[in-house]
Amino acid sequence: MSFPLTLTVNGVKRNVVLDDPRVTLLDLLRERLDLTGTKKGCDRGQCGACTILVDGRRVNACLALAVSHDGAEIKTIEGVAEGERLHPVQAAFIEHDGFQCGFCTPGQIMSALGLIAEGQAGSDPERIREAMSGNLCRCSAYAGIVEAVLDAQKKLAEGSRRSAA
Ligand code: FES
Ligand code: FES
């Protein structure tokens, strides 16, 4: 039996035919679409390394069945920068040393993007820690990650105030 589905991944329409309904979005991205920026850590919803945005919301791709997301808009780390220009969240992770080995970083950045878009980040580091608690970092770069999210969301808010003025 085959399962055709269409996804928009980083703005590009992708038609895929699966032969197994158990394929996760994570495996589809990494193994079928060659988008390996999304990492497989635990493969059971416990580390956040596989975080992507599905229709603008943060999702653990290892827990999401691809067939359940026919028609969805997917954003992965590969779709965050604009050409050579880093997204402010990416730039803030570099500026604030929000990583060491970098394995968790794509998931951290996608989670931060979702969090900021949800309008939940605020300016309280504790709140950011709580809202990012599903994203583990084996290198324990948490202090830099929180600073990066705070800084990026401040810069993004300033940018949107400027463009509204
Ligand atoms: Fe998905 Fe760990 S790989 S949460
Ligand atoms: Fe190494 Fe987070 S930077 S796991």
CATH 1.10.150.120 domain position(s) in the chain: 88-164
pLDDT of residue 162: 80
CATH superfamily ID and name for 3-79: Beta-grasp domain (3.10.20.30)
- Which residues line the pocket of ligand 2, CB cutoff 6 A? 99-105, 137-139, 141
Ligand nearest to the CA of 40: 1
Ligand nearest to the CA of 145: 2
Neighbours of 160 (CB within 10 A): 10
User: Which ligand 1 atom is at minimum distance from the Cα of 50?
Assistant: 1
pLDDT 10s digits, 4-58: 999 999 999 999 999 999 999 999 999 999 999 999 999 999 999 999 999 999 9
User: Which ligand 2 atom is at minimum distance from the Cα of 137?
Assistant: 2
pLDDT of residue 163: 79
pTM value surpassing 0.85? yes
- Which residues line the pocket of ligand 1, CB cutoff 6 A? 40-43, 45-50, 60, 62
pLDDT of residue 137: 98
Identify each DSSP E strand in 2-160 by its residue range. 3-9, 12-18, 51-54, 57-60, 73-75
- Token pair, residue 18, equals 């699966």
pLDDT at 165 over 80: no
pLDDT of residue 160: 78
Distance CA 83, CA 13 (A): 19
Confidence grade of residue 72 (pLDDT, cut at 50, 70, 90): very high
pLDDT 10s digits, 90-132: 999 999 999 999 999 999 999 999 999 998 777 899 999 999 9
User: Does CATH place domain 88-164 in 1.10.150.120?
Assistant: yes
CATH 3.10.20.30 domain position(s) in the chain: 3-79
At 113, the amino acid letter reads: L
Cα of 111 vs centre of ligand 1, distance in Å, is 12
Q: For atom 2 of ligand 2, which residue has the closest CA?
A: 137
